């Protein structure tokens, strides 16, 4: 089970066309939608040695080997899911069936079907199953538009908490855009009661549409405390469609790493509010490099959509059709531009390299020579300082050797960083840096840093 501060896997329920529960509460919704919500049992066969020990010959416990035998043992897990078409396609969480050798789907009317796994996506924690030997049209539900869900909207969930099955709970949308540490997180938060075994179940709006797949709860106890997280249907729809068609997901890729736009950087770019994403690395040979995207470019729009922040940008790219030529709006050196980039396909092995950090010995006063700019002690790059601070071989500019703890640079700049540009102007000496900074005596100044080969842009005040 995935955890976030005791994160527990969840589940949510159905609803029909009502703006609010009527005099009958959610009974009509439950009656119409419950037949399509299923219980899922997954079994993994374990070798005898995996679960219990084999006692040595002559041991007083040797007789238990005969009792336990060598037959494989079964580890079971329970979860929830929902049928999305009459032939028996079922959506659930990947963690519900992860590693399973056998999967069964139980309908509310008591019928049980063996199921095969069509495809899984561990990144979003989604899976698609196909029920076997289905000879009649099955009840099913449809995905709705999760973008229309607003904070305060009624939602309901039906699932299999603690193996009880057929359990309905209701609540409201509490928040949107929640994160839990995943690359593409954009969860819907609700106060619907979700517990272990609800994982993979549907979250319904009052039109009876699935607007989320219940996946996690935030709880200090492991039981529901009113903070449940669901994968939005607009993410699930794309993933499910690809799993059905290809048996795997195919995500768009540009070949860039990005950093957030802080309030200070937003001010220096004269943005009305912090938004967008700053390109910190461009992978050679990737789509972004071919489109002439560069480190330091501030991405503000992609394929006609505003880039909210550095977390939403990778999600926008991932959801884009592979091969699409998309327009990308950027600000380069304070000048707005629009480029066209052909979206590539993200390889499953592609990962983002973590920025390297330097072990940073302190230079002597003679070495630093008191050259301080906005709380940063600077020194020229030479062979000795490159070796001492483990400077990336591609870095050129001026070395930062110390950062004053009381300065605005503290926490933004590290010893071992190399200042390559100031206000988008290349610098090669401390005098170059002073000349630019002295021209902006009271305002923030943007420093472009090379940190272990990774581009970092920081805005530093006096």
Supply the residues annotated as catalytic: 95, 125, 199
CB 198 within 8 A of CB 223: no
The three state secondary structure string of the chain is CCCCCCEECCCCCCCCECCCCECCECHHHHHHHHHHEEEEEEEEEECHHHHCCCCCCCCCCCHHHHHHCCCCEEEEEEEEEEECCCCCEEEECHHHHCCCCEEEEECCCCCEEEEEEEEEECCCCEEEEEECCCCCCCCCCCECCHHHCCCCCEEEEEECHHHCCCEEEEEEEEEEEECCCCCCCCEEEECCCCCCCCCCCEEECCECCEEEEEEEEECCCCCCCCCEEEEEHHHHHHHHHHHHHHCCCCCEECCEEEECCCHHHHHHCCCCCCCCEEEEEECCCCHHHHCCCCCCCEEEEECCEECCCCCHHHHHHHCCCCCCEEEEEEEECCEEEEEEEECEECCCCCCCCCCCCCCCCCCCHHHHCCCEECCEEEEECCHHHHHHHCCCCCCCCEEEEEECCCCCCECCECCCCEEEEECCEECCCHHHHHHHHHCCCCCCEEEEEEECCEEEEEEECC
On whether the CB atoms of residues 190 and 2 are closer than 8 A, the answer is no
Q: Which of 199, 212, 78, 88 is nearest to 139 (CA)?
A: 88
Q: Are 121 and 127 in contact (CB under 8 A)?
A: yes
CA neighbours closer than 13 Å in the CB half-sphere of residue 352 = 16
**95 touches 197 (CB < 8 A):** no
């Amino acid at each position: 089970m995935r955890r976030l501060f005791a994160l527990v896997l969840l589940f949510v329920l159905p609803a029909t066309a009502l703006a609010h529960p009527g005099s009958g509460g959610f009974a009509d919704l439950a009656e119409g939608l419950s037949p399509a919500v299923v219980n899922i049992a997954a079994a993994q066969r374990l070798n005898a040695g995996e679960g219990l020990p084999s006692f040595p010959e002559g041991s007083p416990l040797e007789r238990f080997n005969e009792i336990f035998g060598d037959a494989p043992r079964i580890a079971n897990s329970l979860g929830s899911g929902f049928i999305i078409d009459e032939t028996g396609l079922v959506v659930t969480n990947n963690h519900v069936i992860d590693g399973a050798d056998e999967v069964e789907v139980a309908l509310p009317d008591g019928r049980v079907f063996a199921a095969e796994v069509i495809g899984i996506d561990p990144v979003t924690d989604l899976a698609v199953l196909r029920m076997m030997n289905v000879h009649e049209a099955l009840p099913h539900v449809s995905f709705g538009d999760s973008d229309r869900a607003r904070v305060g909207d009624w939602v309901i969930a039906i699932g299999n908490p603690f193996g009880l099955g057929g359990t309905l709970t209701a609540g409201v949308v509490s928040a949107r855009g929640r994160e839990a540490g995943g690359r593409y997180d954009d969860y819907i938060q609700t106060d619907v009661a979700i517990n272990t075994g609800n994982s993979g179940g549907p979250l319904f709006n009052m039109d009876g549409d699935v607007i989320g797949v219940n996946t996690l709860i935030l709880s200090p106890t492991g039981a529901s405390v009113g903070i449940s997280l669901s994968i939005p249907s607009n993410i699930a729809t794309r993933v499910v469609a690809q799993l059905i068609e290809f048996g795997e997901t195919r995500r768009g890729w540009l070949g860039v790493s990005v950093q957030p736009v802080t309030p200070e950087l937003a001010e220096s770019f004269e943005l009305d509010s912090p938004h967008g994403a700053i390109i910190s690395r461009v992978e050679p040979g990737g789509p972004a490099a071919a489109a002439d995207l560069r480190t330091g470019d501030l991405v503000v729009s992609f394929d006609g959509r505003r880039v909210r922040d550095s977390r939403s940008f990778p999600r926008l790219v991932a959801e884009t059709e592979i091969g699409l030529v998309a327009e990308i709006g950027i600000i380069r050196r304070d000048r707005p531009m629009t480029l066209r980039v052909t979206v590539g396909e993200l390889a499953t092995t592609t990962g983002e390299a973590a920025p390297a950090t330097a072990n940073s010995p302190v230079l002597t006063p003679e070495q630093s020579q008191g050259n301080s700019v906005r709380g940063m002690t600077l020194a020229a790059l030479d062979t000795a300082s490159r070796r001492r601070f483990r400077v990336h071989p591609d870095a050129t500019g001026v070395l930062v050797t110390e950062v004053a703890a009381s300065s605005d640079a503290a926490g933004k700049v590290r010893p071992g960083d190399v200042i390559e540009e100031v206000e988008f102007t290349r610098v090669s000496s401390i005098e170059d840096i002073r000349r630019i900074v002295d021209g902006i005596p009271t305002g923030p100044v943007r420093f472009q840093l090379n940190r272990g080969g990774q581009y970092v842009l920081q805005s530093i005040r006096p």
